[in-house]
C-alpha cells in the first residue's frame, strides 16, 4: 500500500489497524514533507477471528481541503490508496 502525501502534511505515516481488536497490525514507514512522498505498509499479520481492518493515515499537519493530495477532478472516484491482502494457508 502506498498512500501519498503532499508537502502541506509534513511528516505522515499509514497504519493497518484492527478495528475489532483495537490494535495496530502493521505500522508503515514515515513519509516526509516533499511532493509525492509515500508511507508504505508491508508485512504479515494474523487475525484470530473475523475482524474489521482499516487503513489509518495520520499526519503532523493537515489542510482540510487537499492535505493528503490533489484530486484529478475528472468526474470519477479519486483513488489515493490501494491495498492487496493475501490469505496464506
pLDDT at 36 over 80: no
CA 30 to chain centre: 11
The predicted pLDDT at position 11 comes to: 84
pLDDT at 83 over 90: no
Strands (E), 8-51: 12-18, 23-31
Dump pLDDT digits (tens) for 42-73. 999 999 999 999 999 888 887 777 777 778 89
pLDDT at 2 over 70: no
**Residue 47: φ, ψ to 5°:** -110, 120
Contact 60, 11 (CB under 8 A): yes
Strands (E), the chain: 12-18, 23-31, 53-59
How far is Cα 14 from Cα 82, in angstroms, rounded to an integer?
12
Structural domains counted in the chain? 1
Amino acid at each position: 500500500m502506498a498512500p501519498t502525501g503532499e508537502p502541506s502534511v509534513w511528516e505522515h505515516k499509514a497504519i493497518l489497524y484492527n478495528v475489532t481488536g483495537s490494535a495496530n497490525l502493521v505500522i508503515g514507514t514515515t513519509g516526509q514533507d516533499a511532493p509525492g512522498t509515500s508511507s508504505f505498509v508491508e508485512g504479515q499479520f494474523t487475525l484470530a477471528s473475523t475482524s474489521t481492518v482499516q487503513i489509518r493515515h495520520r499526519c503532523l499537519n493537515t489542510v482540510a481541503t487537499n492535505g493528503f493530495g490533489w484530486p484529478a477532478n475528472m468526474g470519477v472516484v479519486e483513488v489515493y490508496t490501494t491495498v492487496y491482502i493475501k490469505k496464506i494457508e
